[in-house]
Structure formats: C-alpha cells, structure tokens
Chains A and B, each alone.
Chain A
Amino acid sequence: MSPTRLPARPGEVIDRDRPLDFTWNGRQVSGFAGDTIVSALAAGGCRVFSRSMKYHRPRGILTADFWDPNTLVQVGDEPNVRGGHRLLEAGMQVTAQNAWPSLRFDAKALTALGGRALSAGFYYKTFMRPRRLWPLYEKVLARFAPGGVIDPDSAPRRHEKRYAHPDVVVAGGGPAGLAAATAAARAGARVLLVEHEHAPGGHLRWGTKRERALGAAVADAARTVGVEILTDATLVGRWEDNWLAIVERDGAGGPERLVKARAKVLVAAPGLIERPYVFAGNDRPGVMLSQGARRLLNLWSVRPGDRAVVWSANTAGDAAAADLEVAGVAVEHVDARAGHTVVAAEGRRGRLERVVLSDGTRLEADLLVTAAGWTAPTSLLNMAGVRPVYDAAAARFFPAPPGAPEAGTVLSTGGVSGDGSLDELVGHGEATGRLAAARAATLAHRLQGATAWAAPASGAEPPFPTDERTPLGRDPHPELYRSSTDGIVDLSEDVSSRDLRHGAAEGFDSVELVKRWTTATMGSAQGKLETVNTVAVLAEATASTVAEVGTTTWRPPYAPVTLGALAGRMFEPVRVSVLHDLHVAAGMTPIGAGQWIRPEHYGDPQAEVRNVRANVGIIDVSPLGKLDIRGPDATELLSLLYVNKWRRLAVGSVRYGVMCAEDGVILDDGVTGRLGEDHYLMSTTSSGAGTMEVWIQNWLQTEHPDWRVRVTPVTDAFTSVNVAGPRSRTLLERLVDGVDLDPEAFKYMQVRLGAVAGVAGCVMWRIGFTGELSYELHVPAGYGPHVWQALLDAGADLGVAPFGLEAQRIMRLEKGHFIVGQDTDALTKAPTAGLKSLIKLDKEDFTGLPELRWALEGEPGAGGPEALPRLVAVQPTDPSYVPPEACQIVATGPDGKEQIVGRITSSRFSPTLERSICLAQVEATHASPETALTVVGTDGRRHRAVAMPHHAHFDPAGERLRG
C-alpha cells in the first residue's frame, strides 16, 4: 500500500494542520480533520474496505459517499457506519465488516463454489432433507449474515426530537435547492433547507474552480436571507399533508436528532445519483464511479490510482478524466458515446490490472472510472404519490412526464426534474422557490383562517398560483445498463445480472418478484444505486423495455435512521396521587397500574388485611375515576348508561351500577351518589376512567345532544381515601365536621358533604369494597396530604395503618366482589357476573338492552342464560392450596375426554378465613353450589375444589359493613 495523498490543493476540505490518529483493524493510521473514514484510509493506500456478503469478494471504493455499498464499517460499538460519509475523529476504532475470517483472506473456495451453486435463491432449493438437520444448516447460513456487531450492553445515550412548521422545506442543498430556498425566503417564507452532506453546494463542491465559487455564493446567499440550513441531515420521509421526517446527524457520530416538520410546501431537490455499470469484474477494487473519483481528488486530495481508464458517457465522466490528468494520473479516455463499452475488469488479489473493451482492446490500468448515467432519487416524490416515468432518450426516470406542471404542495427542481446549464438550474430553482413561497402564503392564510386560536389572517386570500415555470430540458444520454458480460448488479447483496436473468427465466419475471427472489435492491442503499440496473436487466431478460417493467416502490426512510433518533426521549406519562411522597416515606412497594404508580403494600399485605378487619385502615384510592354530572337531565343520562334504575335514588344516597357495551358485555362498574337534585358524582374503575369519560361524551353528543347535562372529569380534583374497619367511625368522629355520623343518620349507601380535619368541601360516602364498615372520603386534592396525615395522627390509638392495593384485593375477594377486566373478559355479559336482578329490562333504553334481553329471555335458536358461563366463588378442598389465577377448571365430557369448563379468575390466601379462596368463571352446568370441580395446577396436577353458594366467602349477609 502506498500513500496517495496529494499536496495541498484548492478546494480541499481537509485541515492539514489537524492530523487525527485512529485505528483500522487494530492498526494505527492517521488522517486529517475534514477527512471521512474512507478518504483517510484511501489516502493511506487502503484499497479493500470490505468483503462481499455472499461470495466474500474484496470490495473497494465505489462512490466515496454515504451510499457506497462497499465501505460500511464498524466504529467502536456502532455497526454499519457509512465510512464514505462519517467524518474522521481522533481515536476512532474502525474495523472492517463481513471480513470472515479476515479482510485479507482470499475466499477462493467460496467464490468458486458460488459460481456453481450459490446462485440467487439456492437455499430455497436445498437443505430440505433430512428435516432434523435444518436447524444446523440454518446456523451456518446465519454466520454469513452481513453487517456489523451490536453490543446490547452499550450505554444508552440521551436522544431528543423537535417539531417545526416551516412554510417551505427544501430537500437538497445543491445549486437548484439553494436557489429555491433563497428565492422562497426572499418572498417572505420561513424556509428550512436540508442537506445530506456536511456542507451545502451539492456537486459544485467537488467541481471546477468556477463551480466551487458559485456553490459558495449560492450557499452564502441562502444564509444571508435567513434560510435555516441543516447540514449532515436528511429528509427521510414524507407523509400526508407534507408531514416530514428529517434526521439531523451529529457529524461526529453522536446521537441523531429527529425533526418532525409540517411544511406547507416541499421542494424536492435531491440531485442525481450516479449509476454503476454492469460487466464482468465490475465489483473489483479499482472500479469506481466518476463521482467517487472526483470526490476523492477534489475534496480530500486523494489520488485514486496511478493509471486510469475513464469510460465516459457524459460530461461528468469527461470532467473526471480532466481532473485525474491534472492530478498526474495517466488517463486513457474511452468515450461511450462513440460506442465503446467495457466488458471486463481483470486482475488478481483484489487489484485491478487491466480493462477489456468491447472491441477486444485490453488496457493496463489500476483504476477504471465509469460514467454510465444517472438515477433520479424520486423517493420523496413517490411518497407524495408521484409515479416515476421513464424517458428512454435521457436514459433515466423522471418524476413527471415532460413539461407536466406540478399541481400541489410538492415541487421538484434540479437534476431530479431535468438537465441544463448551471444558470438554467439556478433559474429553475429560483422560480420553484418563488412558486413554493406563493403557494405557502395561500395555505398559511387558509390555515390561519381555519384555526380557532390563530391570529386573524389579514386581507383576502392570495390566489394559489399555477405552475408557470419553464421546464428544465432533458439532455440525451445513451442507455447504458449492462455490458455483453454479466457482473454484479447489487453490490451490497451480491446479486449478479445472471441471477436476475435466471430468476426471470424461472418465473420471477416481474420486478417485485425478482427482487424478492434475489434480494436485489434490499441492501444498504435500498436500490438507489441498483434499482434501474435491476429493471434494465429484467427488461432485457423478458424482452420488454425499462418503461414497461417500471420501477419498484421506494419506501421510507430515504436514509437509514438510528432507533435512538426515532425513539427520542421516552414520553410515557406517569400519574401519581398527591399522597405519593407520603407512601414512599411509609415504605410502599409500588406497582404500576396503567399510567398510575400505586402502593401495592407497605410491607405485609396480610397484616394490613388483619388490621382492617380488627381495627381501621386507610387506603389511597385516588385513581378511582370520578365524574361530576350536573343538569336537569343527569338522571336520564345515568338511566341510559347503567343497566339498573336511577330515577328513584334519593338525594344523599349512593347506588352501585354496572355499565354494559351495546353487545351486553360488562364495560365498567362503580358507585354513583346523588349530591343534589340535578347533581351526581359518579365513580368508575381506575383503569376505565378515561374510556368512560369518552363513552359518556359520545352518547351525549351524538345520540342525545338535546339533553341538558354537563359531565366533567374530576378524578384528579379529589384525593380519595377509603377508611375501612370496625373502628373507622370512631376515627372519623374525631375529624369530621358538619356531618352526623350516627349509623341511623348516615346509613350504608349514603353520601354526605362536610369537612374533614378542617378541610371543607369533602364528599363522603359510606361504602366499602372491603366488606367492613367504611367511608370513602373525597378530599380537595391539594389538602389530601393534610387529611391523610390527620387520619394517621388521630387514629394512632385506634391502630390505624395504611393498606395497599394487595390488601384491598384480598378483602374484596373475601367479599366476592368481581373486578372488571380480571373476573370478566371481553365476552362477559352482565348475567354471567350474577347481575341478573340488577338488569332492568323494563327500562325504555339503556346501552346493551337488546343483547341483555336476549341473553336473559332467550332468542330463537340461541341458548339463553344457560349458555352463558357463570361467575362463582370456589374453594379448593385443600385450604393451603392457592391455584394461580388463570388456572383451568376441567371436567370429563360426554366423549370421555377431559374438557375445559372454566378458569380461576381471582385467587388469594385469605388471612381472615385462613384458607384459599377464589372466583372462577365456569360453564353454567358446573356452577351450582356444592358442585365438585377439578382445578389443573400449572404443574399439571389436579386439585379438588367446590363451587360455593355465594360470591362472598366472608360475611355473606353483609352485617359488618352495615354496622
């Protein structure tokens, strides 16, 4: 390897005063600030950067940019780094990928085998027998997987995103894009320009002195008029209404940032991507595209070879030849326009030695530069619904037929939409920018007018201008895709033109099928280099044309994006009660319940149960859903929502209710209290609070907009505390003002308003999920901690202690109360849960009425209530055995086989009864009291159990809570 860095040249982007040391496969090497990994390595004489995926052929520089399929490298713990794009940093540890076993290993045997058997899709045709050996084959195949190495233990970094709402976004900072951005900004638009490379200017950056000067001038003009320019950033996707994703890379390999932009007008100015040519040996190191050669020379002053053949079909190729000659390279210029083509690149050990032309000429060379034509990266335009159309005369696809005006809010300019002199491209860009700004102004005016909170739009709506730009011309270009020999079409996937032709012959004769069969275009550049050649080879194989075959769908993202950038900072809202810090101080074990973090227990849930049963406990039930319902039709609303009746509920009373969906399935349950004639406070389950609010609003707004009732969610307005236990009344008597707590004055299922610990405006209802005498206090949340502490202080001598969710679950199970979503599921209709008597079929209407009527009364051809499963209390015969929840209950069926007849939905060990207790859903035939049941443990053992007469295992008559 010999160093190939030239002496300092005008226009180079490296800083020779800042050398940077790094390692390449463990070896110390160096480059300069401004180098990419690839330019630094090339300057040091490196020619082989990777081995190919399937045949392990050596690969060198092709494009020397982001899309180069041959220079993906591992940098530290980061795989698949674009070596042609990533800027060099001191201390980088760069290693080659796909080098198995090593980059230098000459995989002759594999290559030879590849020629015979490793054709595309070979794996579909073999390894079928013997079946049991397939896992082994698979492991071997997996070792051939390309790509770098990920370290799952690498430390996560901080990622962030932002939103933007520019008037105009310009994708691409070449001359046309910069001109468009400048013109749009001059016309008053807020403009965001996104440039993929590290500096704006596009291909002018590696052009002639005049081109470089013009590039700098247009970039300066854009900055001067206030265009926001993002460099090393890519517009990766466009969705409806110009919702755009822009990834900002951090040059140095730091975390990427995602910008989500809603643009009024998008200008696509991505330029053109140079297309490789397919011929024998086209993947040999030393075969390079003209852009690659010019970038190496003019940006980084790296001489890509000593003796070059430049095969050119266009001015870019001619310019490359001229540049190479200036740099002292011996150049043989072969003109494709005169009919000369390359048929082979020959050499040994990963080196190019000679180039064979179609007329048999053999030219000694260590560098072959091809300039075969261009691919228009129409991805963004495709995402906007624009189909690419092939133009044979220009030998490339265009986003629209010649001269077609662009109707909407996505415009294109620059090379993607046509050819011309630099002045013409800049002129088209400016016209596009003006059009974009004018259209954006119309849309901004409309948006301001339509948005309720926006400033009033001044004046009349400006007209949405029609497209009156002079279209760019189209330069004729020869159609050059494949030579008379076969070569590699997709370098990253190692797919040859022979693979494609054979695939077509086997029946994979459409572009989508052959793509899937061979994996062509599925690699790192996602078809940007390969698609058109794939299409052309297929067209040739099927005796059709490129236009007829058409192109594949370009899918987002335009450039790969790290998962970290897409994820950003995690935004997962967490909700906590105002008592949270007190629970933490009290040593709670937290449990996640939806968005809420709640105390599961404070150390010993069984002891918490015993304390409630013996003394008094307090539990924070703030997540309980609460809705304030007011208005003359509030009762009407309740009657519609619940299966039971509400018209006779007295002011000062509360009632339990169940809500069903329109299919009769239990949706939610809870207690609602009547605070005034037209005023109710409804409670819902904690998990159902949000859903129920929307459910109720839907009924009100769409079915009964005439009802005079207002529903306000007040879950967070109250700290809800349940005070439970035989001594709860004694405790409250010490703290409550303005409410007579006498059992005759404040009965079970009643509600009172008053003050607790000096806090006015508390709602108290006498109910209990625990089955004990209990009071649920709803305290204005800001004073929740005060009341909670007051309860603990005032009740110290009564043995008051907080209890958590687990103790509450045990006690509710002792009492046989079901939990919606645990003891019921998505098919559980109300009669299953033992609510038959609650359902009032004589009501005029309530949600789910027809289904519940048919469930209870039967319908022609259906089973009626006997077909529904039942919720029953179950006790295992062995009192110490607690069957895990979801264990199955089985019985022997008529065919003698064991069948599933139900499942345990809840189970706990009851400290009160000192035995295991359960709720279960079982088929009606096994639901009668005293029915012997067989529960299957998770270890497969059968356990005997019995169905109980009541849901409640404890105090079925409810004497304690009424006390």
Chain B
Amino acid sequence: MAGDGSGASPAQPIRSRRVRTRYPARYSAASLLWRGKRPWPRIWDSGDLGSSYDAVVIGGGVHGLATAYYLASNWGITNVAVVDKGYLGGGGSGRNTAIVRSNYLTPDGVAFYDRSVQLYERLAVDLNLNVMFARRGHLTLAHSDGALRTMRWRAEVNKHQGVDSDVIGPAEIKRLVPALDTSDAPRYPILGALHHPPGGIIRHDAVVWGYARAAAALGVEMHQNTEVLDIDVAGGGGPEGKGPGGRVTGVRTNRGDISAPVVVNCTAGWASLVAAMAGVRLPISTHPLQAAVTEPVKMFLPAVVVSGSLHVYVSQTDRGELVFGAAVDPLATYDTGGSLAFAEELAGHVLQLMPGLERMRLLRQWSGLCDMTPDYSPIIGPTPVAGFHCDVGWGTYGFKAAPVAGEQLAACIAGGQVPELIEPFTLSRFAEGRLVGEKGAAAVGH
C-alpha cells in the first residue's frame, strides 16, 4: 500500500533508439573452435581519460555498467565514462552470492524485480556472453507461524502480479531438497516455505563482464583505478555551491578533472561518501555482509535455500561449491575484514537445516559492503542536486536488481522523467515520510 501514485507521471522509454552493438568478435561455440588457441580480442578497452563526457558513472560495478550500457543501447548516449577506483566488478558485484529472484513483498517491489528477472533471462543473448543463469528454484523457509504468514503474504502479492510463487509444506520441501531436515526434531523446525520457481543463481562476474564488453562495443569508456576525489556543483545552498538547489558540473579524479552535466552515483559501500561530495546527505548506514564458500562436492542441492529467521542462504554452484550468505553484520563499518562469529553462526544454522553437512569444509570467507536504508529499499533517481543521480542503498539485494535499475535509471536520465517502476524508490520519499513497505517482509514475523 506504499506509493501513493503521486509525483511524476509514468515514463517508459518513449523514444528509445536501440543501437546495434558491434563486437570486435562475437562469442559462439563455432568461433570458439575456429579460433582454437589464438587469443581473443580485448573484452573492453580503456584509453586515456577524457576531459568531458555527456555522463560520468561513478562505480564500475554491475549497476554502473548496466546504466552505462542502457544509456548507450536504449538511448544512444554513448559519450559516457564509467570510473572505478579499483577494478570492474571488484565491489559488491563480485562479492555477492548471485541469487536472482522477484518474490518480494510489496506490489512495487515485485513489479520492479520481476522486470529484472525478465532482463536477466535474456541477458546472455542480449550481451552475447553466457551469464549462466541457472533457474534452480528458490525456497524461503518458515520456522514459525509468523514467518509462514509473511511467506503467504509474499506469495499472494506475487501471484497477483503474475509472479510464480506459492507456499508449500514440509513434504513438498523434502521432495525438492532431500538434504533438508523437515522433521520436527530441530530447534526451529521447517513449517513451510515460499517456493519461487523462477529464482536461481547466476555467474556474477559474467554479468559484469557482459555489460562492460557490450557497453564498450557501443563506445562507452571504462576507466579502472580512477578514483573520484570530488564532485563539482554550482549554485547550491551549501558550502562551495554544493547541496540542494545546485547543479552538477563535473568530477575530479586522481587521473584528472572531467566536466559532465550528468553524474551518476552507482557505488555500493561508498554511497554516502560520494553523495557527500555533492553535498547530498543520505539515509544510509554502511554494514559489511559476509559470504563464504565450501570445498566442492558433487551436486546434491538442487535449489536455492533461504531461511530468514536463521539468517542464512545457501546454493550450490556448477563447480560444486556451497555458497553461503548471511544477514548484514549489525556493526556499521567500512572494514571488510569479516568475522569469525559470522562463520560460526552460519555453520550452526546450515547444520540445523542440513545436519548431514557437518563434514563439509569452509574454504574461504569474504565480505562486501552494503548500504542499508531505513526501509530496506534502494534510492534511485534524481537528487536535490540537478544532474546528480543516485542508484544506491541497495542493501543486500543490489545484484538481482542491476538490469532493471540500469534500464530505468538510463530512462530517467535520458527521458528527463522518473519512470513508474522506480518512482516509489526516489530519495524524496524519506523527507515526505512515505517509506516503502519491503521492511515489512524483514520486520514482521514475531
């Protein structure tokens, strides 16, 4: 019931000029055999940093690259630079657990993520790079009647929006994932689950590379090791002409200054810091989210399994590894050193779900940074500084939204209007007190 429909009128890509991508070499099985051992052309090229662009995207992760790609492919805006202080896909894009799903709670959220799943489904073909989307099916387990109620809430909203979700019982869960303990012996027995067949996993790095390669083929420039040090704003009410009421004019980087009428903040983990450079204060607190992977074993886990109340999600990759994630660390920090407590908690909870896995070994753990907003929903679209757009605050679910966020933000920048799909997620909702109800899914369930 959030989102009162006020604000900008719906803006779909009205005058989309779809541009044909010209790859230096197309990928296919035939070309793979034909080329044999000869090396392939570069997947993207980065020349010298220019002094002016039509748009500068800060952050070479999956969101920034998708935005640049759709600006170029859907709107013909190709004089775009993507700048990243490290390497492409080195932030959250390369650290997440690569789960894709659309079984959200609010109609706004469901519509948004459903569009993302649709885009993901054809991404391999669109980008001519196999992103290996494996539609395994997605199970969110309920261990209490409150959680079961929330699952049904999500399922019913999903169904209304035409998204395939349903609540299933322990017998059906056991049939889908035999390794799960569906008896009533565990401390938190499995009472049911939200089953979402379209959900699955994807090769996250491939999505990054696919967008980068396709954007590069359209003329977008990728500049790695290029750190934004400041953002130039004129006419704003704050110090140095920054802040609300101002207009962005460019960015300063460690490799030189760039003038640009449009600057897009597509960072995760540094969203507050980049926004502060333009004089914009965000409702964001940055927390590490940890993940871990086990040694590989032969396939035994056919679906993505999530337990909200046990704070764990697990899937098995094509390589046979189990990939785990957990809830965000409650300690707000920019430190990605991770913690032992995470691994302990995670292992404990996984073994509650699947006691037979105790001999599996954790091989590696890592963490990424998540920008958490008060309503567990992102901040997309314009800010009080004209020309400065945000695509931030993605919390723990940014990866699954990248295609739709990039597509819609590109439409917002190029079309000059806030598209309907992202209208509920603009920054202004906080000052106006109209938060998005996704938090309900996380907070309800006593």
Q: List chain A positions with a Cβ less than 8 A from chain B.
A: 77-80, 115-117, 119, 122-129, 131, 134-135, 138, 141-143, 145-154, 156-157, 159, 161, 237, 239-240, 243, 245, 255, 258, 260, 383, 498, 501-502, 505-508, 510, 512-513, 516-517, 519, 522, 524, 526, 555-557, 560-568, 570, 572, 574, 591-594, 663, 685, 687, 820-822, 825-827, 851, 854, 859, 861-863, 867, 869, 884-888, 890, 898, 900-903, 921, 923, 936, 938, 940
Contact = CB atoms under 8 A, between A and B. Distances in A.
Contacts of A124: 27, 129-132, 203, 206, 209
Contacts of B135: 135
Interface in B157-212: 157, 159-160, 166-167, 178-179, 187-189, 203, 205-206, 209
A139 B435 CA distance: 43
Given A125-B40, A147-B320, A685-B446, 4 more contacts: A147-B296, A507-B42, A512-B90, A827-B435
Contact of B348 (A115, A506, A567): A567
Given A557-B365, A566-B344, A150 B360 contact: yes
Given A237-B340, A862-B432, A902 B209 contact: no
Contact of A827 (B42, B160, B350, B439): B439
Nearest to B189: A592
B36 A116 contact: yes
Contacts of B359: 77-79, 150, 154, 562-564
B29 interface: yes
B297 A936 contact: no
B21 interface: no
Nearest to B135: A135
A142 B320 contact: yes
Contacts of A936: 156, 159-160
Nearest to B188: A592
B1 to A, nearest CB: 5
A243 B155 CA distance: 43
Interface of B: 1-2, 4, 27-29, 31-33, 36-37, 39-45, 86-90, 94, 107, 121-122, 124-125, 128-135, 143-146, 149-150, 152-153, 155-157, 159-160, 166-167, 178-179, 187-189, 203, 205-206, 209, 224, 294-300, 318-320, 337-340, 343-344, 346-348, 350-352, 354-366, 375, 432-435, 437, 439-440, 442-446
Nearest to B179: A152
A460 B149 CA distance: 62
Nearest to B181: A152
Contacts of A510: 87, 224
Contacts of B318: 138, 141-142, 145
B365 A562 contact: no
Nearest to A885: B149
B23 to A, nearest CB: 11
Contacts of A685: 446
Contact of A556 (B160, B338, B357): B338
21 contacts: A124-B131, A129-B28, A145-B319, A156-B355, A156-B356, A245-B343, A522-B364, A555-B365, A556-B338, A556-B365, A561-B343, A563-B362, A591-B145, A592-B143, A593-B144, A594-B446, A827-B375, A827-B437, A863-B4, A888-B160, A923-B1
Contact of A562 (B130, B145, B358): B358
Contact of B446 (A125, A591, A821, A921): A821
Contacts of B27: 124-126, 128
A146 B320 contact: yes
B440 A827 contact: yes
Contacts of A827: 2, 375, 435, 437, 439-440
Contacts of B338: 239, 555-556
Contacts of B133: 134
A362 B32 CA distance: 35
A240 B329 CA distance: 15
A900 B159 contact: no
B344 A79 contact: no
Contacts of B297: 79-80, 145, 147-150
B444 A524 contact: no
Contact of B362 (A560, A886, A898, A901): A560
Contacts of A148: 297-298
A161 B135 CA distance: 38
B356 A888 contact: no
Contact of A498 (B37, B337, B348, B364): B37
B36 A507 contact: no
Contacts of B337: 239-240, 383
Contacts of A239: 337-340
A152 to B, nearest CB: 4
Contacts of B187: 570, 572, 574, 592
B364 A526 contact: yes
B363 A567 contact: no
Nearest to A157: B358
A75 to B, nearest CB: 10
A564 B152 CA distance: 33
Contacts of B352: 570
Which of B32, B300, B343, B439 has the most A CB atoms < 10 Å from its CB?
B343
Given A145-B318, A563-B351, A506 B437 contact: no
A834 B45 CA distance: 62
Given A80-B295, A126-B130, A827-B437, A560 B363 contact: yes
A771 B365 CA distance: 54
A591 B147 CA distance: 13
A507 B45 CA distance: 7
B134 A861 contact: no
A560 to B, nearest CB: 4
Contacts of B320: 142, 145-147
B153 A117 contact: no
Smallest CB-CB A-B distances: 5 pairs = A145-B320, A564-B358, A147-B296, A566-B347, A560-B361
Which of A126, A563, A886, A936 has the most B CB atoms < 10 Å from its CB?
A563
A901 B157 CA distance: 11
Contacts of A940: 159
A827 B209 CA distance: 39
A826 B43 contact: no
Contacts of A869: 1
B433 A862 contact: yes
Nearest to B204: A516
Contacts of A568: 344, 348
A822 to B, nearest CB: 7
B285 to A, nearest CB: 16
A152 B1 CA distance: 43
A887 B156 contact: yes
A347 B318 CA distance: 33
Contacts of A821: 146, 444-446
Contacts of B203: 124
B132 A123 contact: yes
A867 B4 contact: yes
Contact of A938 (B152, B209, B340): B152
